A and B are shown apart, each in its own frame.
Chain A
Amino acid sequence: MRLSLFRPRLPFLIFIIIILVSSIIGYAIINSSIATHTSVLRGDYFRLKTDYLEVDFPKSWYSGKAEDINQTFGNRYIVYLAPIYLRAVVFFRIYDEKATQSFSYEHNITNMFSINSFEINQLFNSALAENINATLSIIENSTITVSTHEASYVVVDIKNGLKDNDVYYNLTGIFISLIKQGNNGKIIKQIIFYGEENDWNQTRDTFMIILNSIKI
């Protein structure tokens, strides 16, 4: 006697098969991706390798990248990393030779410090839009070595610069910039790490690991 209690129709079978195949392949790719990109030095970190940046970052951090490709003004590459549940974010911005020229001309950039000044102004202006009484203090202004290159860095504190659920918080940030000689001119590279003061302090050690792992 043939079993005929449940005889699914062909389209339904195809539907189930497609679901199973896509789920299994998707899950397999994700797992192989975890294995491939895990940092050799730190098990709980991924290693991101691109043409313009190499960096370790925590596996659990939210991450993303964007490429702003423009024939006229040059290309800009952005990678951002953020811990979930904490109000802090790390940005990497790399301008190619053409984009460096346009950026420098447009914002009157002459050296590494002026890049930081421009970015700090941008952040402070956005803080002022939230709270007109926000105040900016420069905590530290010096140089640091990033991946064998000398870079300029500025640490700032913006009092009451962040509004969250109608409560004002202090913003803290470090802005690191370096100008490197490329094949056809200079290249600007920026590392920006800012966030709510307490959250920023909590993630500072992780940021230092990220910073020390960078290859630019």
Chain B
Amino acid sequence: MKKDTFDFSKFGFLLHTIIGGLACLLTSTILYVVLQGGVAFLAALDSLGLLVFDESIYALQLLLFGLVFLPSGFIGGLYTGHKVKENLYIILVLPGLISFILFIFLFNVDLIGGIMIQLSGNILGSYLGGYTMNWPPKKDVEENRKKLMVSS
């Protein structure tokens, strides 16, 4: 009689997704602390007073998006994309989402620019990282195209 056993391999992707999310969270935290939530840019320019102007806040949001949340999502996506090879278009949303939720709950940070900057940066970065790991080399693409042309 076949023994019922729990097949861990089916859920391996979940573990790698969580590890990817934690990598994303760790990178977000380090970059956010190093850049002091974007205030470091203004302090370097001796212009902390800009915080009172709306357009400066938007500029800081853009900088945080590009220099903190997108790269951290990318790191999480690289790991997840390296370990998981199937259903990437669904799975890659998870590292960014996990990191986003944990970051908000753990640190209760009043993010300059709000939560959308972090969420979109983490998820977009995660997709780009995941697909960077799984992007077919140019040689394969050309070979496939040749095969298609021959077969037709």
Contact = CB atoms under 8 A, between A and B. Distances in A.
Interface of A: 7, 9-12, 14-15, 18-23, 25-27, 29-30, 33-34, 37, 46, 48, 57-65, 79, 81, 84
Contact of A46 (B49, B63, B71, B127): B49
Nearest to A38: B47
Nearest to A65: B52
Contact of A63 (B52, B59, B62, B124): B52
A34 B50 contact: yes
B48 A63 contact: yes
B56 interface: yes
B44 to A, nearest CB: 10
Interface in B32-62: 41-43, 45-53, 55-56, 58-60, 62
A19 B71 CA distance: 8
Contact of B135 (A10, A19, A48): A10
A63 B50 CA distance: 7
Contacts of A59: 46-50
Contact of A79 (B41, B45, B52): B52
B20 interface: no
B125 interface: yes
Given A15-B70, A59-B47, 7 more contacts: A19-B70, A25-B59, A37-B50, A37-B53, A59-B50, A62-B49, A84-B43
B135 A46 contact: no
13 contacts: A11-B128, A11-B129, A15-B74, A20-B66, A22-B62, A25-B62, A26-B60, A26-B62, A34-B47, A34-B50, A59-B46, A63-B49, A84-B48
A173 B23 CA distance: 48
Given A11-B135, A22-B62, A60 B51 contact: no
A97 to B, nearest CB: 24
B53 A33 contact: yes
B56 A33 contact: yes
Interface of B: 41-43, 45-53, 55-56, 58-60, 62-63, 65-67, 70-71, 74, 124-125, 127-129, 131-132, 135, 138
Contact of A15 (B42, B49, B65, B125): B125
B72 to A, nearest CB: 12
Contacts of A7: 138
Contact of B59 (A12, A29, A58, A62): A29
A80 to B, nearest CB: 9
Nearest to A8: B132
B41 A22 contact: no
Given A11-B128, A26-B59, A46 B50 contact: yes
A81 B50 CA distance: 11
A63 B51 contact: yes
Contacts of A63: 48-52
B49 A60 contact: yes
Contact of A33 (B50, B71, B128, B131): B50
